[in-house]
A and B are shown apart, each in its own frame.
Chain A
Amino acid sequence: MLPLAARSQDGLRSRPVFDGGVVPKDRIVETLVKGGYLKDYGITMFHSVRMDVDEAELQRISDLVQEDARNAVSKEMEISHGLLSFALLALTPGPDGNRLLGFQSKPSDDGTSTSVILVYLEGETSLTDLKKSIPTNFKLSTKHL
């Protein structure tokens, strides 16, 4: 498997999560989309990792995202029992536009693990734009390519 993280993610504290440094890649669902596919959302890059984690892994990811939040231009975060459950961060813009980081964690029904998703976005869009457009926007489809 190729390393998919972009150079623009180099400065992120949470980059190891994308690189399999916290949870091994064979336990991750990783999605990378770049270019024209995302133009309807004003995004040029979408990079996500989704995984089920144990308590220690959740703590590590939560800490890394909170470290990124310290340098964020704007942020929305929810912390429960010292652990991050939700975050939307607007990071300092890069040469390719705005850089956004999203995080969500949800405990599994049986309470034995937690499902985590971490997303890095890049493009002209902003957190506000995405919140406005996504609930009503049509879904991305190959028909729009």
Chain B
Amino acid sequence: MTQDYWKELTDKYFEGETSPEEERALRGFLARTDDPAFDEARAVLGYFSAQRKRRAARAGARRLSGLLAAAAALAIAAVLGHALFSREPDTCVMYAYGEETTDTQYVLDDVNNTLTMLFGDSQGPDVAAQLNELFN
């Protein structure tokens, strides 16, 4: 193909009348030639080519960040779900001679009484009983 053909094709390109095949062919030619007559076309086509690459890279990055965000969301959901469902629910119940009581204050009073009996001031063996045992 002659230089004239490429010049015509370049003009056609700037007029926006090239087909994708012609544009591809022109880009191939511009990559091979050093002719300064095509510098302007090379610069424009190179710019758009670089833009396309950047857009493709940005789209790839967006896809990747989208995937990462989805993975992070899944991980957070998994951690929260595990925390929620693996945690034992609070329980407060008493069975008195086979009868169930779930009155929280009543049950907690029982807890208080028991803890006070074991750990409070009245804890330990009955001193009077011990003295009685020692001296009788």
Contact = CB atoms under 8 A, between A and B. Distances in A.
B118 A28 contact: no
B88 A46 contact: no
Given A78-B124, A119-B118, A130-B119, A34 B95 contact: no
Contacts of A78: 124-125
A33 B124 contact: no
B110 to A, nearest CB: 5
Contact of A31 (B94, B97, B105): B94
Interface residues of B, number: 35
A86 B119 CA distance: 11
B92 A37 contact: yes
Nearest to A131: B119
Contacts of A4: 93, 95
Q: How large is the interface on A (under 10, 10 to 19, 20 to 34, 35 or more residues)?
A: 35 or more
A70 interface: no
Contact of A34 (B91, B94, B124): B91
Contact of B121 (A27, A130, A135, A139): A135
A48 B95 contact: no
Nearest to B87: A35
Interface of B: 88-98, 100, 104-105, 107-112, 114-121, 123-126, 129-130, 133
